[in-house]
């Protein structure tokens, strides 16, 4: 009996102690939670701290008022005459550095002439202008073409060229001795690509054309393409069914990249994959050495944003290290000609308008309408960190030596 009572007393004591300890622990947790909540409400409750929290939210994004304050690059412009300096002066006001790009498009506009003018701009505006050179295709089928071209590029790089541009005439106009069109994966370009790799120079490639050019004018998706190909019918491939297809053009570029994985390459104009961010994403996944600029193709992104805003937005977030801002500004551009702009202040104002409209697309979430797109879309409202990469840090990464 005594043993039984002792046993019950022991059980009661242990059980009572456990319950007591549990109450103490729960009480302590409750006390700590109360203190935490009091501290949180005290922090959030003061006007000063509410302002700090609001500032942190605002600091995530840029506003339209930030446009002129942020350092930026336009990495794809064409300066060919003294008149083009008005772009540079407007760029200085809008806080842009610029990469002027030479293009071999005809024997009358030689690479030497373009380079000499670019070098003058670099001397006159050393804090704003850098330049990309190109090379002539004259005499391509002659034995000494390769040695002459390599010597010219060596000289251009020594003068300060930070990139070399190849144009769509490779693949669409240039022919070999047999009369066949030559594409960028031709063996005659191998020595040039090797030189660029050795010199750590970026290849800027406008290879192929927008997919729209294989469509009738009335079926093209953006007004800029309708204007350009109506003015330049020799590049409207819909009228030339015997020429290489769109897939042939892009495929030749892809083969060149696959064969040169250590070549730093920037695909001009969204890499001629402007029509679908998903197709462009496939190439960026496949070729880590490839980035793209957006010159004269932002309207294609805006067109896609009408029906696939989330897809375009997410593309920018995922590939934020591979996208570079550019416009293709030049006094001979279709939009400038269509508006009949001739005065310096008119063209400078147009450049400012284009830059500002693009900034709105990337930084705001307003409903937008633009001249080259038929429809309404919403701005992407990208975070500051992404905007900074697009406008500045990617340019500095993919174009080493870019002045700023």
pLDDT tens readout for residues 181-234? 999 999 999 999 999 999 999 999 999 999 999 999 999 999 999 999 999 999
Spatial CA neighbour of 398 closest among 328, 297, 325: 325
pLDDT at 333 over 90: no
Class of domain 60-398: alpha beta
Nearest Cα neighbor of 378 from 354, 363, 359, 361 is 361
d(Cα 404, Cα 129) in Å, to the nearest integer? 9
pLDDT band at 278 (very low <50, low <70, confident <90, very high): very high
Dmax (CA) for the chain in angstroms is: 120
Dihedral (CA of 125, 129, 132, 136) sign? negative
- Strands (DSSP E) along 1-134, which ranges? 72-77, 96-101, 129-132
CB distance 150 to 190 below 8 Å: no
Overall residue count recorded for the chain in this entry: 404
First to last CA, the chain: 96
Q: Which residue bears the tokens 């605002």?
A: 58
| DSSP label at residue 175 | B
Cβ-Cβ contacts under 8 Å for 188 (sequence gap 6 or more): 140, 145, 146, 182
Nearest C-alpha neighbor of 297 from the set 321, 327, 333: 327
> What is the pLDDT averaged over residues 321-347?
84
Average the pLDDT over 145-158 and give the result: 98
Q: Determine the distance from the C-alpha atom of residue 59 to the mean position of all C-alpha atoms in its chain, rounded to a whole number.
A: 23
Phi-psi category of residue 60: left, alpha or beta, with phi > 0 → left and psi -120 to 50 → alpha: alpha
Asked if 399 and 99 count as a contact pair (C-beta separation under 8 A), the reply is yes
Q: So what's the pLDDT on residue 57?
A: 52
**177: nearest Cα among 145, 222, 223, 211:** 145
Query: What phi and psi values does residue 298 have, to the nearest 5 degrees?
Result: -65, -30
How far, CA to CA in Å, does 362 sit from each of 22, 148, 385?
56, 43, 12
Residue tagged 């054309």 (tokens): 209
Q: Per-residue pLDDT tens for 41-59?
A: 343 444 454 444 444 455 7
Percent of the chain with pLDDT over 70: 85
User: Residue 345, Cβ neighbours under 10 Å: how many?
Assistant: 10
pLDDT class of 338 with cuts at 50, 70, 90: low
Q: CA distances (Å), 101 to each of 111, 162, 329, in order?
A: 10, 10, 11
Task: Please say whether the beta carbons of 379 and 403 come within 8 A.
Answer: no
CB 370 within 8 A of CB 357: yes
The CB-side HSE value for 197 (13 A sphere, CA atoms) comes to 13
Has residue 158 got a pLDDT over 90?
yes
> Phi/psi of residue 265, each to 5°?
-130, 135
d(CA 146, CA 126): 32
Dump pLDDT digits (tens) for 359-385.
999 999 999 999 999 999 999 999 999
Per residue in 87-142, pLDDT (tens digit) is 999 999 999 999 999 999 988 889 999 999 999 999 999 999 999 999 999 999 99
pTM, two decimals, is 0.85
Q: Give the tens place of pLDDT for each residue, 225-256.
A: 999 999 999 999 999 999 999 999 999 999 99
Integer-rounded Cα radius of gyration of the chain: 30
Map tokens 């309207």 to a residue. Answer: 299
């Amino acid at each position: 009996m005594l043993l039984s009572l002792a046993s019950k007393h022991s059980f009661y004591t242990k059980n009572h102690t456990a319950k007591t300890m549990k109450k103490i622990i729960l009480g302590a947790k409750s006390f700590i939670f109360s203190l935490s909540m009091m501290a949180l409400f005290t922090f959030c409750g003061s006007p000063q701290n509410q302002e700090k929290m609001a500032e942190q939210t605002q600091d995530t994004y840029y506003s339209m008022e930030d446009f002129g304050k942020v350092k930026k690059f336009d990495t794809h412009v064409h300066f060919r005459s003294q008149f083009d300096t008005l772009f540079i002066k407007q760029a200085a006001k809008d806080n842009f550095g610029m990469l002027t790009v030479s293009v071999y498009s005809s024997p009358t506009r030689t690479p030497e002439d373009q380079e000499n003018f670019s070098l003058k701009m670099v001397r006159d505006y050393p804090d704003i202008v850098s330049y990309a050179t190109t090379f002539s295709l004259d005499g391509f089928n002659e034995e000494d073409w390769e040695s002459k071209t390599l010597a010219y590029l060596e000289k251009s790089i020594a003068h300060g060229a930070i990139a070399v541009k190849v144009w769509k005439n490779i693949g669409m106009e240039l022919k070999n001795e047999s009369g066949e069109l030559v594409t960028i994966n031709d063996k005659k370009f191998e020595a040039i690509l090797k030189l660029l790799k050795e010199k750590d120079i970026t290849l800027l490639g406008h290879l192929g054309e927008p997919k729209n050019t294989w469509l009738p004018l009335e079926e093209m998706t953006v007004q800029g393409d309708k204007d350009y190909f109506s003015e330049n019918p020799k590049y409207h491939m819909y009228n030339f069914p015997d020429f290489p297809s769109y897939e042939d053009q892009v495929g030749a570029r892809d083969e060149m990249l696959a064969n040169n994985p250590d070549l730093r390459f920037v695909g001009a104009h969204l890499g001629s994959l402007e029509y679908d961010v998903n197709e462009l994403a496939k190439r960026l996944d496949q070729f880590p050495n490839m980035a793209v600029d957006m010159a004269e193709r932002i309207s294609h992104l805006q067109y896609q944003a009408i029906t696939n805003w989330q897809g375009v937005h997410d593309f920018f977030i995922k590939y934020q290290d591979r996208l570079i801002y550019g416009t293709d500004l030049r006094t001979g551009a279709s939009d400038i000609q269509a508006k009949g702009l001739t005065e310096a202040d008119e063209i400078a104002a147009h450049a400012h308008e284009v830059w500002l409209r693009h900034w709105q697309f990337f930084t705001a979430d307003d409903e937008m309408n633009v001249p080259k797109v038929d429809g309404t879309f919403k701005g992407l409202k990208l975070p500051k960190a992404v905007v900074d990469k697009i406008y500045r840090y990617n340019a500095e990464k993919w174009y080493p030596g870019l002045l700023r």
